[in-house]
Amino acid sequence: MSMEVGSIDVLQTSISPLTAEFARYKGLKPGIATLPKGFRKTAENRQFDTDTLWERDIQIPMRDGTILYGDIFRPAITSEKVPILLVWSPYGKSGVGFFDVTLVQNRDGVPLDRVSGFQSFEAPDPALWTALGYAVINVDARGIFKSGGNHRWHGTKEGEDGYDTVEFVGQLPWTNGRVVLMGNSWLATAQWFIASLQPPHLAAIMPLEGLSDVYRETLCRGGVPYKPFWTFLGNHLVGENGREDVISMIEKYPLMNEYWEDKRAKSHLIKVPAYILANDSVEDFRRFLDFYTKDIKNGWEETPRDPLYNVPFSDWPPPETEYHSLYLSESGKLVTDLSEAQKSGAVSYQSDAPSLQMDNDTEEIQFRVTFTEKMTIVGASKAVLYVSCPDHNDFDVFVQLRKADKDGTILRNCNIPLKDLGVNNVKEVDLVNILHYLGPTGIIRASHRKIDPALSKPHWPAHDHTSEDKIAPGTIVRLEIGIWATAIHFEPDEQLVLKISGHQMTLAEFEPLRGLFQTGNKGKHIVHFGGDRKSHIQIPIVPV
């Protein structure tokens, strides 16, 4: 099935069939069943706490006549019409498909008895939310499982499908007409594109941990294509027709064009309330939802706009932010005083050394500062580096901020309590980025160094990406590199470490992806500092 974005033909590829073992698919079974209070899918799963109607494989018509399929879970007995939590997913509705917490050590710390087994991946659980007076509707996006058409990889077209779905379910007779989009990752990203089209029955969105610019934030961050994870994900989508081939598209169109611009959400057009955070407590979710979908006066309007755990901020970045510059200097030091960074120097690394993304790769240079008082970084940092490559006319540079203890040992944050992972020592935790946070990163391909002033902020350099500007080998160029936002607290005598290399320094998402990330690097990179070349990082310090 052909598809165009503007004047660009969108390349398509095959999709894994319904018969794939990992699909776990048992066919269309339209109908209505009552899951009584106390019902469990298996003896190990969470029970339903209220009688729940399960309307399976309902047909949802799109504007072009394509039919999508969804499952509805709603309270069986209620005196009032209920709002809807709508889950828009490419992974498979109601507990099917490849993607599941079982891909991660000890189910990512989520016991089987905490979930009903009817939840879609990275989505609200019907067993929880029906008991709280909500309907949950899990939808297979276009091209997924039995939903018609070819799968669409974000952008306006996926947004239109989501719009049509919101409007269809928002007019079902048992609902109060208030629909909320909810979910993580892909399920969050899709919300930006749907909400920007302003479907009338959309009451709010809850995009939890979702990007809004496919090119700049993941697939070609800094101009460097990021293929392994997205290839892995695409290969495990399931359907009957085909799917949009973003990997072939980034190979054919490595520069920003109307196709990639269409995958940058028009967030300024979103008019509904939005809960834009990482996963938080169910009670906090409920307060937000009750306020905007049930008109319950629970004080939600007094919630700080930007809470950092229990620290309220009135805006983002926090108005209290002070930006500090730390300059690269001799002996691998970061210094605040420019007079200490006057002497010119340089340090090099082999940019094409093998990398397995296990936090022990070689050819990574470091610069450190030891804090003499408490410091808390909150927000985005940036690096300004003067770099040359004598061996090639382009090069990819990766930076990372790390925390080290008083002894200088670089630390990792284990994201899941050890007891929930079933281990006694952090050394037993798999080295994948779902389980460990190392620190914020930045990436730039030198030929993509041109800044887009319209998108940039004083604290964040956004790049143009519409053209390449190759470099004569050996020429020193100034690179501005945005480093993703973070929140890291330092006690006195603890260290901030800047790492620079020619490879990705985050852990791989899954073990099979180790060593697959490819860069365009050849030979040595030389980082210059001191004198007129004031290589430095800018960090956001906030009093907490």
CA trace torsion 427, 429, 433, 439 (10° rounding):
-40
Question: Would you state the pLDDT for residue 485?
Answer: 96
Interior angle at CA 346, CA 340 and CA 347, nearest 5: 115
Owner of token pair 């022990």: 360
Paired strand residues for 444: 397
Sign, CA torsion 328/334/336/341: negative
In one-letter notation, the amino acid at residue 4 is: E
Q: pLDDT value at position 453? A: 97
- pLDDT bracket for residue 410 (50, 70, 90): very high
Please give the pLDDT value at position 341: 87
Q: With bands split at pLDDT 50, 70 and 90, how would you rate the model's confidence at 544?
A: confident
pLDDT of residue 313: 82
Give the mean model confidence (pLDDT) for residues 146-154.
Answer: 98
| Predicted local confidence at residue 2, as pLDDT | 81
Provide CATH 3.40.50.1820 ranges for the chain.
4-302
pTM for the whole structure? 0.95
Q: Please say if the pLDDT value at position 280 is more than 80.
A: no
Q: What is the mean pLDDT of the chain?
A: 96
Average pLDDT over residues 417-432: 97
Q: Residues near 127 by Cβ (< 8 Å), separated by ≥ 6? A: 46, 47, 48, 49, 52, 115, 116, 118, 119
The confidence score (pLDDT) of residue 306 equals 64
49 has pLDDT over 70: yes
CA neighbor of 489 nearest in space, from 388, 376, 378, 392? 376
Residue 309, pLDDT score: 59
Residues 44-57 have a mean pLDDT of 98
Q: Which fold has domain 4-302?
A: Rossmann fold (3.40.50)
Instruction: Find out whether 542 and 379 touch, Cβ atoms under 8 Å.
Output: yes
With beta carbons less than 8 A apart as the criterion, state whether 129 and 81 touch: no
Ranges in the chain annotated CATH 2.60.120.260: 322-542
Predicted confidence at residue 310, as pLDDT, reads 65
Instruction: Report whether pLDDT(308) > 70.
Output: no
3-state secondary structure of 96: coil
Average pLDDT over residues 289-310: 85
Pairing of strands 82-89, 135-140: parallel
Model confidence at 207: pLDDT above 70: yes
Cβ atoms within 10 A of the Cβ of 35, count?
22
Q: What percent of the chain has pLDDT over 70?
A: 98
Summarize the confidence of residues 328-345 as an average pLDDT: 93
Q: Which CATH architecture has domain 322-542?
A: Sandwich (2.60)
Q: How far apart are CA 452 and CA 460, in angstroms?
A: 11
CA angle (397 as vertex; 244, 348 as ends), nearest 5: 155
CA distance 165 to 148: 14
8-34 burial, b at 16+ Cβ within 10 Å, e below that, comes to bebbbeebbeeeeeebebeeeeeeeee
pLDDT at 307 over 70: no
pLDDT of 129 > 90? The answer is yes
Q: How far is CA 448 from CA 260, 276, 286, 396, in A?
A: 15, 30, 44, 10
pLDDT for residue 161 is more than 80: yes
Q: Are strands 243-244 and 202-208 parallel, antiparallel or unpaired?
A: unpaired
Q: Is the pLDDT of residue 261 over 80?
A: yes
* Cα 158 from Cα 341, distance rounded (Å): 51
> What CA–CA distance (Å, rounded) separates 20 from 32?
27
